[in-house]
């Protein structure tokens, strides 16, 4: 059977079970859009800027467990998409991104809207392809989906020259993929798993440190089994939130730079730290030579290059989190049958008493005000009103950290944020993808006034595509995290952190056809949130909050987690931090 390259692309998507494509057309990919005009079974969501297509595909992927797909044209469209690709790469999100390219005979001729898409995206993707021969097209797309979704997930890019899309080629979609040099390891080494079980059973002060790998491998049930068996407290990374219910007494919530006091103290004083699907990034470790200094470290990860990359690991286990945890629980049952653990039981009892004391004495807190809205209060009420059942998305900044701290996550795949790259403008387009993949569910995008303005044009997409995303803007009149650092580290030398002339967000929302709401007083927060949730269609709720509020706890950059500050520091501490960062 012969088909045009454009039709082959869509037929391949159909065979991969793709039901939604996020995209924006242009000259090089118009052959695909021409076929799409009457192609059945594939929804196309037209975004307003190409990066939004990538972020929407991320949100779709994170919350559904499927591979997100985006499609844009050549040149500037492809370069706009690069931020979303890098974002997906750093957070291990599987997606397949198609870009148009000038005809093959014009590649390298500085043709109109030509860019070296493959060269530009090489470092921002797990793998990328330039299709020069249409006879290879179906096999390449099959390989793209295979690579994106296997091993450590990630984005794969396929560049499509226009002549490849226009000409007809033989179409035969392969059933399987054989890549000689690509063979991810899924099963952990039995000897290493047994060694880990032995260390865990003998540990007197153990802690579990779980990341996004738990969620991407759907390993929450196995994590639950491990915790039920061992009663070890659990701390989660920003990407791992939802892997373990935060209301559980054994939850230590998030660790790291803006993590809880009790999580950071528990990790610091642990004697065995079990890292599962987490990569020891700098926001988690703080100063690496002071991270978990007393602990024997076990690291379970599907990516062998992550092992001992940032922190030296004592017991590495390369494999899929779900499969390794299943085997680890079996090994723990065996180890517990043979190990006389009476001394350990007493030590564990004292350890859990210490952890409970930290949780009781140093909870997350903020100063209440009857006059100005505290951002933490807004997040708490969103959590209360949704009972932790909403699908939550954020932009990047202070509001992102307050959501991570104060929203009580209960389930995996209910949380999307830009963890590794920290991409401002991520919130609204990602929420669109979440809503498209989860019709009928409540999707709440908590954004900052600065982050929201980077992609606010996507409100038009929400209206046109009937995506009832609810956006709550934590409006502090500026780039709050920048302001916080300038206050705490740069001696209050505020520069370019106040936005000043932001638009009226209520009128902006209405201009796009959304419902706009505003809150300026604490007493108005709950009624406005209730109205937002009850209002059909996309809603923007603009909440004016205390612009001076900072995110605490906070580990100063370059500091150890145990050096975290819990409240605005003294002048001496600020001067010391300023000297370490600025040299004056």
Neighbours of 338 (CB within 10 A): 9
Q: Which residue is it, tokens 């206050």?
A: 487
Provide the pairing of β-strand 539-544 with 515-519.
parallel
Spell out a b/e string for 341-367, using b for 16 or more CB atoms within 10 Å of the CB, else e: eeebeeebeebbeebeebbeebebebe
Active site residues: 50, 112-113, 162, 481
CA–CA separation, 49 and 56 (whole Å): 11
The backbone torsions φ and ψ at residue 471, rounded to the nearest 5 degrees and listed phi first, read -110, 125
Is the Cβ–Cβ distance between 24 and 72 less than 8 Å?
A: yes
Q: Residue 114: which residues within 8 A CB-CB, separation 6 or more?
A: 74, 75, 101, 102, 106, 107
Q: Virtual CA dihedral for 69, 419, 118, 127, nearest 10 degrees?
A: -70
Bridge partners for 516 per DSSP: 540
Q: Helices in 231-374 by DSSP H: which ranges? A: 261-269, 282-285, 321-338, 342-361
Neighbours of 161 (CB within 10 A): 22
Bridge partners for 393 per DSSP: 416, 445
CA–CA separation, 19 and 15 (whole Å): 10
What is the residue-wise DSSP string for 133-187?
-GGGHHHHHHHHHHHHHSSS--EEEEEEEHHHHHSEEE----S----TT-----S
């Amino acid at each position: 059977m012969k088909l045009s390259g454009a039709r082959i692309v869509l037929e391949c998507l159909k065979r991969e079970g793709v039901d939604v494509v996020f995209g924006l057309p242009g000259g090089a990919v118009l052959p695909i859009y021409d076929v799409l005009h009457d192609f059945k079974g594939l929804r196309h969501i037209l975004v307003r800027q190409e990066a939004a297509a990538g972020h929407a595909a991320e949100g779709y992927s994170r919350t559904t467990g499927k591979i997100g797909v985006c499609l844009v044209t050549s040149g500037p469209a492809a370069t706009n998409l690069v931020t979303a690709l890098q974002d997906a790469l750093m957070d291990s999100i599987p997606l397949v991104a198609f870009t148009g390219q000038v005809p093959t005979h014009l590649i390298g001729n500085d043709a109109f809207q030509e860019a070296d898409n493959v060269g530009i995206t090489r470092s921002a993707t797990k793998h990328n392809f330039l299709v020069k021969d249409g006879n290879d097209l179906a096999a390449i797309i099959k390989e793209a989906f295979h690579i994106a979704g296997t091993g450590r997930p990630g984005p794969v890019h396929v560049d499509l020259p226009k002549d490849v899309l226009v000409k007809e080629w033989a179409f035969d979609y392969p059933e399987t993929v054989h890549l000689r040099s690509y063979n991810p390891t899924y099963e952990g080494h039995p000897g290493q798993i047994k060694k880990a079980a032995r260390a865990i059973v003998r540990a007197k002060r153990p802690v579990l440190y779980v990341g996004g790998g738990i969620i991407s491998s759907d390993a929450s049930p196995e994590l639950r089994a491990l915790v039920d068996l061992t009663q070890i407290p659990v701390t989660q990374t920003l990407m791992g939130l939802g892997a373990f219910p935060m209301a559980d007494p054994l939850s230590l919530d998030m660790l790291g730079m803006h993590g809880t006091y009790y999580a950071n103290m528990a990790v610091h004083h642990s004697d065995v730290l079990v890292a599962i699907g987490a990569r020891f990034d700098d926001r988690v470790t703080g100063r690496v030579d002071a991270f978990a200094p007393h602990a024997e470290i076990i690291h379970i990860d599907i990516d062998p290059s992550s092992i001992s990359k940032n922190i030296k690991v004592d017991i590495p286990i390369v494999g899929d989190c779900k499969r390794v945890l299943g085997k680890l629980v079996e090994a723990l049952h065996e180890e517990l049958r043979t190990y006389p653990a009476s001394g350990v039981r007493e030590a564990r009892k004292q350890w859990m008493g210490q952890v409970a004391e930290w949780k009781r004495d140093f909870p997350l807190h903020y100063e209440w005000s009857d006059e100005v809205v505290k951002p933490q209060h807004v997040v708490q009420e969103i959590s209360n009103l949704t009972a932790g059942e909403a699908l939550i998305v954020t932009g990047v900044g202070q509001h992102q950290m307050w959501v991570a701290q104060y929203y009580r996550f209960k389930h995996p795949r209910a949380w999307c944020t830009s963890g590794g790259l920290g991409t401002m403008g991520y919130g609204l387009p990602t929420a669109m993808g979440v809503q498209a993949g989860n019709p009928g569910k409540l999707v709440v995008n908590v954004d900052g006034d600065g982050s929201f303005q980077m992609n606010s044009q996507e409100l038009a997409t929400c209206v046109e595509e009937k995506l009832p995303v609810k956006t709550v803007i934590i409006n502090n009149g500026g780039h709050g995290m920048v302001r916080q650092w300038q206050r705490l580290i740069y001696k209050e030398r505020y520069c370019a952190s106040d936005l000043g002339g932001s638009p009226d967000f209520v009128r902006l929302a209405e201009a796009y056809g959304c419902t706009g709401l505003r809150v300026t007083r604490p007493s108005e927060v709950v009624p406005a949130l209730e109205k937002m949730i009850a209002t059909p269609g996309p809603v923007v709720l603009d909440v004016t909050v205390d612009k001076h509020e900072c995110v605490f706890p906070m580990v100063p950059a370059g500091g150890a987690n145990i050096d975290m500050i819990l409240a605005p520091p003294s002048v001496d501490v600020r001067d010391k931090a300023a000297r370490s960062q600025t040299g004056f």
